[in-house]
Structure 1
């Protein structure tokens, strides 16, 4: 019985790891990140607070938050500034894909 339970737990742990890595498959190249940082500095937004929302990849930004378009080539994400950090959001799902310190 212990052997079956240990195998099941190992399998669940592996699946959890796969799910976590799938959420992090968003690829922002270092060059794109530099361009995004420069863009946000040129077009600053007021920083907002989002009580109850953790700034983690995969967390959802509420519908009440206005997302701004990034006029950056090859980047389809939108952004908002939360707690003085730039947060990239998938506009279709409103999920956080990257937090830039």
Structure 2
């Protein structure tokens, strides 16, 4: 019958090799779950910023056009809605892209 137990010399060698690999490549010790959380948080922050910026830019354009044409507050309202829609489109596009990247 074959003995499946490793001699103590091999076990010691394995332990020393593991320690040497960890010290040679410390970046591999990074917690994968923590890295995934960080990436998800970055994507969520980017989506929030895109939504706010789209709405703000639309509002600024509408306000400026209202000032030029004297149609207050109609162009402001229209461009606020358009800016919000553009921000939502960007959020949906990013969500679909990140979902496809996971698959």
The question of a shared fold, defined as TM-score above 0.5 by the shorter chain, is answered with no
Task: Kindly indicate which of the two structures has a greater share of residues assigned to helix.
Answer: 2
Task: Kindly indicate which of the two structures has a greater share of residues assigned to strand.
Answer: 1
Larger Rg: 2
Tell me the TM-score normalized by structure 2.
Answer: 0.34
